[in-house]
Chains A and B, each alone.
Chain A
């Protein structure tokens, strides 16, 4: 199993540009999550999904959109990039949303908006 994969690894965007961060998992996990990690601020939840066709907002959803058309894929869309979106983005998945199920993280995408 490849686990959780993310592309691209690095990206530089100009203000106002759009892009999609890709995330895929091959573990047949129902739950998937997008976090952003800013220096000294831990991981903040952007969006999550409990299964194909179902998504919901996390703590910091503004400026982002997601979709979940298949169990495997959970892309994150930035429509109008802003400098405040400069961050490292991690996708994660877990088999269940019940207590005690480990979240597996992807390798991350480092995004810079200038």
Chain B
């Protein structure tokens, strides 16, 4: 099945700096890559996703890039703010009967210090 490796496991940045989280996947047929943010004690929530027909997608301060050849995709957060502190999960589709589930990376704990 699809394996998703996520790095780093922890990341600490100063407020205003950029943060980059990288994921690699194994199934070259994978074509959809979402990112979820989970604040402490809360549920995971989708923040951005990308399909394999584009190389980059932006939404204000966050962006996701995809390199299909190398089979990796990355989350970029610019001008980080303390409220960006959370655990971020990448995911890739995993075929199941009648559709797809998601295989999640192990998560990156991002800390933004003022």
Q: Do A and B come from one complex?
A: yes
Main DSSP-derived SS at the A contact region = loop
In the assembled complex, B96 has its CB within 8 A of some CB on chain A: yes
Q: A97-B96, A98-B99 are in contact. Are A105 and B106 (CB under 8 A)?
A: no
Contact with A102, one of B9, B46, B105 (Cβ below 8 angstroms): B46
Q: A50–B94 Cα gap in the complex (Å)?
A: 14
Interface residue tally for chain B (C-beta within 8 Å): 28
Interface of chain B, main secondary structure? strand
Residue A78, interface by CB 8 Å: no
Complex interface: chain A residues within 8 A of B89 (CB): 42-43
Please tell me which stretch of B11-19, B37-45, B69-77 contacts chain A, meaning at least 4 of its Cβ atoms lie within 8 angstroms of it: B37-45
A50 in contact with B42 (CB, 8 Å): no
Note all chain B residues with C-beta closer than 8 A to A48.
96, 101
Closest-by-CB residue of A relative to B52 is A99
Residues of B within 8 A of A (CB): 1, 6, 9, 31-32, 34, 42-46, 49, 51, 89, 93-94, 96-107
